[in-house]
Chains A and B, each alone.
Chain A
Amino acid sequence: MSAFPRAAELGLISCHVCGLVCADAPDRDDLSADGLACPRCGSALHRRKPSSYVRTWALLIAAFLLYIPANVLPIMRTASLNDIDDNTIISGVVELWVKGSPDLAVIVFTASIVVPMLKFLSLGTLLMSCQRGSDWARPQRAKLYRLIEFIGYWSMLDVFVVSLLTALVRFNLLSRVEPLPGVIFFGLTVVLTMLASMSFDPRLIWDGRDSDD
């Protein structure tokens, strides 16, 4: 791979917030040490996002732990005169599929199951490969990171579906929809996975490049 000039080697830092190219303090050793502020927007300058590995791992593990009750516990109760029906995420998908809209079932399945699982697996893979300083498939891993950043928030889909149905289906005894604890766990899972992918620094994928070449 041809050598691209990297900011860290040239003594430059780009501001995370406003993108301004700033001069680094040459005497600093720690890549994430505090101290410098962007002259344009005042934000703290970091060569890499601070404690990226630790924060991302912590948020990712917390998100995964919450994802278990989000799937096991029901997210929504449909109550009518003669029966009570509790739905989990997956049984809601099955219901959509069986009762006539397989295409929407695929969309909900993607947003609620595929996207969170993809985020857990991808961020886990990125973290482990970067911590090992691996040079395996760097452009592909960079692309994977951009993909999960882009699709992450679509997982909120099921949360909004339950919220709207709760507000809509209020026919007293005849028919009611109530949210159940699963939806809260699921909402928190989505927020935590978003925070996890934000705290991961994609530049770590490319660090250690020169020693490998």
Chain B
Amino acid sequence: MGTTSPEALLICEHCDTVYRRRTLARGDVARCACCHAELERHHGLSLTALLALVLTAMIVFVQANMWPIVTLGLNGQFSGATLWGTIIAMWQQQAQIISILAAATLFFFPLTKMLLLGWLLWFARLGRRAPGFVPMMVVLHYLQPWTMSEVFVLGALVAIVKAHLYFDVVVDPGIYAYAALTLLITVFAGVDLRQLWELTPADPA
């Protein structure tokens, strides 16, 4: 074991079984023989393609936040809502905890994630570690489970159906931007960001 470099080994996060790492071919998924959890996955996207997807996600994210999501009509009055309108409405209605939760999981965390990822990928493409690489990778790891845009899309759908019982519902462009964002999130869900540790060399100490 003494001559094996740490990068050549892999430990299953779910059951602590140790493996020797194998090179995966396109589309391969390595699973743990003991607990069947996924160990590693090869995905066909290059760093450039990933960066392009992050930039796309940023553009769509801006649209999803600026454009109204739905507009309701009642007797000639109209009322539309954007994400921030929703967050502010909850704050004003004595539900500040929910307001903060929504602002964090639907705006600040996804935004942070995209900005960090864009920054890291930009430098990784040049074969380098970005300034602040290590703390950013740690932040990305902890943010991972706390972004909920895709849940919000389903929530918007349910809200539309409920509102449709009593109001005229006009679906606004914001919901399409959210739908596109959900697709991009799904693509990123299959990407193992830990590969960035191996793809970029550490700075000589």
CB distance A12 to B33 under 8 Å?
no
Contact assessment for A174 and B74 in the assembled complex, using a CB-CB cutoff below 8 Å: yes
> Is B81 within 8 A of A168, CB to CB?
yes
Residues 77-104 of B, flagged 1 when their CB comes within 8 A of A and 0 if not, give 1011100011111100111011001100
Residues on the A chain within 8 Å of B80, using CB = 168
- Among A7, A41, A154, the residue within 8 A (CB) of B151 is A154
Residue A183 at the chain B interface, CB threshold 8 Å? yes
Tell me whether B154 is interfacial, beta carbon within 8 Å: yes
Q: Contacts A167-B86, A184-B97: A4 and B17 contacting too (C-beta < 8 A)?
A: yes
Are B134 and A42 in contact, with the CB atoms below 8 A? Answer: yes
In the complex the two chains form, is A21's CB within 8 Å of B10's CB? yes
Find the residue from B81, B141, B155 having the highest chain A CB count within 10 A.
Answer: B155
Interface pairs A-B: 3 shortest CB-CB: A160-B155, A14-B11, A167-B89
Does A188 belong to the interface (CB within 8 Å)? yes
Query: Contact at B93–A7, with CB atoms within 8 Å?
Result: no
- Known contacts A18-B138, A19-B11, A143-B36; 9 additional CB pairs below 8 A are A4-B15, A12-B18, A96-B158, A163-B95, A168-B79, A170-B89, A179-B98, A183-B98, A198-B145
**Which of A52-60, A117-125, A127-135, A201-209 forms part of the interface with chain B?**
A201-209
Chain B residue numbers with a CB within 8 Å of A160 are 102, 106, 148, 151-152, 155-156, 159
Q: CB-nearest residue of chain B relative to A103?
A: B161
Interface centre among B13, B14, B69, B79 (most CB of A within 10 A): B14
Asked if B123 CB lies within 8 Å of chain A CBs, one says: no
A-chain residues with CB within 8 Å of residue B145 when the two chains form the complex? 152-153, 194, 198
Decide yes or no whether B130 CB sits under 8 A from chain A.
no
B162 contacts A167, C-beta separation under 8 Å: no
Are the CB atoms of B6 and A20 closer together than 8 Å?
A: yes
Query: Which residues of A sit under 8 angstroms from B16, Cβ to Cβ?
Result: 6-8, 14, 203, 206
Q: How many Å lie between the Cα of A184 and that of B85 in the bound state?
A: 18
| Complex A-B: 27 CB contacts under 8 Å | A4-B17, A6-B18, A14-B11, A14-B13, A19-B10, A21-B10, A22-B6, A40-B202, A41-B134, A42-B138, A104-B158, A139-B36, A142-B35, A156-B105, A156-B151, A160-B102, A160-B148, A160-B152, A161-B155, A163-B89, A164-B70, A165-B163, A166-B93, A169-B163, A171-B79, A203-B14, A205-B35
